[in-house]
Every structure is written in structure tokens, then in C-alpha cells.
Amino acid sequence: MVLRSCSRGEFRVTAAVRHQLPTLSEEDRTRANLYGLLGALLARSPDPYVLDILRKLNGDSSDLGRAFARLKAKAEEATPPAIADEYQLLFIGVGRGELLPYGSYYLTGFLNEKPLARLRRAMAELGIARDPAVKEPEDHAGALMDMMAGLIDGR
């Protein structure tokens, strides 16, 4: 059995998925790590561990590299309380945040719609299960990033 250990701790690969994963290439490991980092950032306000990762990012002259450099600079100047406040405003808010991190909303204009049902079917086919203790729908952007990381690295 391969257990899924993700930033939100809510998804696991079930016993139905029993296979040996090939050794990951450097590119695939980097992709999995990036998806994991995005999952952590979308799931909750960054904790000190995630902030430390952001502060160690290095960028090159590519678009992604420049984005990493900007993210690093913002992480270096930000304080945990300010980041927590910003996360609260963006994703939670009073009644609703500025952004809804659910795929169904962006595809249909509503929450818990057919795209979520299709995602759940795909998850079942892939042997991915949500922890019953988690109440967030599976189409949360953080959860989707975690699943992508897990599909790449088999966590």
C-alpha cells in the first residue's frame, strides 16, 4: 500500500494501487515538489517551515525563475501574522473570501457541481481516497495540487 502524505494530509493512495514506481527523474521530482509547495500554499497560511522553503527559493532568467525570485522577496519581507491575515482575506473572509479555491465554482459558477463528481470518479479509478475526517471538497485547489504531486511521485 502506498500512503499519500500531503500538505493537507487528506488524500492517500489506496491498496488498489500496488505497483513499483520507477526512479523519478530530476525534472519529475522538481515538478512533484512544486505541486506540493503550491498545495501547501493554497491549503492554509504558510507555517514557518513553508516560509523557510520560500525564503530559500532561487530563480533564473526564465518566467518561472523570475516568479520564484519575487515570491522569495515577498516571503523575506513578510511576517507570519501578516501572511495569515492575507490568507484569511483571500480564501476565507467574512462569509466568503475574495477567491473561492474550488474547481467546480470556476467551471460552473456553483460549488459541488458535476466537475466535482467527475473528479471523484477519476480519483476512485486512480485509487485516491479522501480522509473521511476532512470536510473540504476534493476540488479545492490545494487538494488538486497535492494529488498532482502524489500522482508524480507516488506518495
**What domains does the chain contain, in order, with CATH numbers?**
11-153 (1.10.3480.10)
Has residue 1 got a pLDDT over 50? no
pLDDT score for 12: 46
* Predicted confidence (pLDDT) per residue in 108-147, tens digit: 999 999 999 999 999 999 999 888 888 889 999 999 999 9
For residue 21, what pLDDT is reported? 56
Query: What was the pLDDT predicted at 122?
Result: 96
Q: To the nearest whole percent, how much of the chain has pLDDT over 90?
A: 72
| 5 has a pLDDT exceeding 80 | no
Q: Is pLDDT at 58 greater than 50 in this prediction?
A: yes
User: Comparing C-alpha atoms, which of 94, 87, 95, 103 is closest to residue 44?
Assistant: 87
Q: Residue 19, SS3?
A: coil
Q: Which of 13, 43, 32, 4 is nearest to 123 (CA)?
A: 13
For the cut 80, the answer to whether the pLDDT of residue 47 exceeds it is: yes
Provide mean pLDDT across the span 41-64.
Answer: 93
Cα Rg of the chain, angstroms: 17
Q: State yes or no: pLDDT of 39 exceeds 80.
A: yes
User: What is the Cα 64 distance to its own chain's centre?
Assistant: 18
Q: Taking the CA of residue 146 as centre, how many other CA atoms within 13 Å lie in the half-sphere pointing to its CB?
A: 27
- CA–CA separation, 52 vs 35, rounded Å? 17
144 and 101 Cβ atoms separated by less than 8 Å? no
The predicted pLDDT at position 22 comes to: 63
11 - beta bridge partners? 130
